[in-house]
A and B are shown apart, each in its own frame.
Chain A
């Protein structure tokens, strides 16, 4: 055994200090390294992650980051103040109710009760989670298992597929397709789901379909008719629906957010997911929620009590305050749920105009804070780069390096079979302050210049 007595820099510490083990230094023997232990099967093939790959590339401060979806505009001040205030109360720094802090679940049941037009039980029909991400995870783990199939619409928020696989189930993909025909401006409404193609994906093994409206990355806001088609199939095949609605308030003029859970026959089979991070521009708070019928939510609660048990208290209290304040203002222009959308619409239009001027083709989103951009017309030659990667991956890496502008490649959000359909698109995030958009504009305007 290779050990040596060696006194580290601990002469200044009193000998009665109970907790340091500084009197011996141990050498790690290479030959004692773990021989037979490898990772569990459930994480097989789940190691790749677009964020881990691109976040570090975009972290260079000289790069204008329109990649990862987080605001660089400040959250509303009342929400930060509520957090500071909560942190001063002793009890708020200790554990709260596992399935959701009482004031938060009550506020959620009020807001969503009003939106859905039904009574929502705060204790049985709501679960607070670590972000919308945590709700997706609790839903998959609680309700999906080996032998199940889960339908996912492409392009999808990238975690859906690994989460379905980690739950042991099979993802079944179906792409949104661009309506044929030339048009001056393309919007997210021009992307649609073929009803026959969708129907063909359902079978007796289909446990659930995941929908995301407004969709990340395209920005599509599913219409009532489109949701009805999905609902009819769910009812016909006795399937669950997991509806990721984290961008629910970010809807632009002329469009309406419809909750599939409010369609007839759907409440009892739908989990609806929301996010404080996206609602209040505080992605770093990592709070989200699942709302649904008790007989489904109870399984998500079981997962919660066996995974992380409870979410941070002061953050939940502050979100509760923010929701109550805006509940009173719902329908009025001061309500953050509508004022943020209004602010973002201006940024959306500005971004789209700049891109069009440069000769790129944006897909104008009906909701959310991302915009897809078709870079085909730039004809950028990337043959010198790694051949294994899809065009958009190469394009974004080249753009970060050469143009100091970061985006996210859209094929990160699709399965292998749809890569060809989407590899000329990149995703830009526009919930950024004016100075960031100014910097992006500079880069884009000077695109053709060396």
Chain B
């Protein structure tokens, strides 16, 4: 074919750190502390829910409601209304997506136009940048500290209200906070419900990343635009996986705040793993930065010169020569700032 084939929206977004490094880890059969997924199973109650969905009636294997399986959205509305302190309408205020990844994509596509600016806090989950680009937006980078304290969130909220901006809040690791740190939902701050899109993940909530069930929760007048994107992209999400996550939320609603809650047990288990990995890294002379939340830890490695950023080269060497896979942290920074952060690598301790 003589003509140019690809659409220009795919230009400059073809490199992807996961595609590159997951392949490397697989090729060298490395111990994979790179990509963020647990190597243990989801909790029994949710695995059983999935199995029972699979052997459920024929409708479990056919299309369900496009914007979210009714039992799932109803259970989520009940669960999160209590957490956020705002009555959430299951059919108007929630959109179920194929992972939080697709919720992010739908939010950008529905709301960002050519020329819109989007503020991205560094370091950031790498997909934000290409997604903003694909939507025609312009990314503006600002470094801020993770596990936001309420005062920090209030500062962001004040700016959003002052400048009449939207807030896309990616809270996929919302249950994973350590050392008593509290997760605060920016959507629960005054004036923020109607301008915030809160994104969550069944995969991270229930340690089942391979189910790819995610969601966006916001005021109906925003969700309705995302529904239009959804009905023109994938239209439906898999039924059985949604049924299983629905049952997961039902169970968690009942035991919320008690020791049986998976949302207490998982962070307790992971805090222990976090500490273990930290001492291991310290013992070999690496400097870990203790996370207050999430699945990841970054460690300081010493710097030197070269064309490809140091952390990229270090990670490749570590994978090939030592059989240990990690992720270079400059992948989570804009091209302009990556050089300043090329002496960190990221470990997953889940």
Chain A interfacial positions (CB closer than 8 Å to B): 1-3, 8-10, 12-14, 16-22, 24-26, 28-29, 32-37, 39-43, 46-47, 49, 51-52, 55, 68, 70-75, 80, 83-84, 87-88, 90-99, 130-131, 133-134, 137, 141-145, 159, 162-163, 166-167, 238, 240, 268-269, 281-287, 295-296, 298-299, 302-303, 305-315
Contact = CB atoms under 8 A, between A and B. Distances in A.
Contact of B175 (A19, A55, A141): A19
Binding site secondary structure of chain A: loop
A310 B212 contact: yes
B117 interface: no
Contacts of B18: 98, 305, 309
B62 A283 contact: yes
Interface in B257-302: 257-258, 263-264, 267
A31 to B, nearest CB: 10
Contacts of B169: none
Contacts of B212: 308, 310-312
Contacts of A32: 161, 191, 194
Contact of B85 (A26, A70, A83, A96): A26
Contacts of B321: none
A308 B105 contact: yes
A18 B183 contact: yes
A60 to B, nearest CB: 15
A238 to B, nearest CB: 6
28 contacts: A13-B256, A17-B256, A19-B182, A19-B183, A19-B263, A21-B184, A26-B86, A37-B166, A40-B113, A73-B58, A87-B54, A93-B209, A141-B7, A142-B10, A159-B232, A162-B232, A284-B61, A284-B236, A284-B239, A285-B240, A286-B234, A299-B5, A299-B7, A302-B14, A303-B10, A305-B16, A309-B127, A311-B98
Nearest to A9: B82
Interface in B32-70: 35, 37-42, 47, 50-51, 54-55, 58-66
Contacts of A74: 58, 61
A134 B234 contact: yes
A312 B211 contact: yes
A134 B102 CA distance: 12
Contacts of A144: 7
Interface string B218-246: 00011001001101111111111100000
B328 interface: no
Given A87-B50, A130-B98, A159-B235, A94 B110 contact: no
B79 to A, nearest CB: 11
Contact of A14 (B22, B42, B257): B257
A134 B233 contact: yes
Nearest to A33: B194
B82 to A, nearest CB: 7
Contacts of B60: 284
B66 A51 contact: yes
B54 to A, nearest CB: 5
Given A13-B256, A34-B195, A166-B232, A21 B54 contact: no
Contacts of B14: 298, 302
B61 A302 contact: no
Interface in B135-169: 135, 161, 164, 166
B257 A17 contact: yes
Most buried by A among B195, B212, B239: B212
B210 interface: yes
A282 B58 CA distance: 9
A93 B54 contact: no
Given A16-B180, A284-B63, A306-B105, A46 B99 contact: no
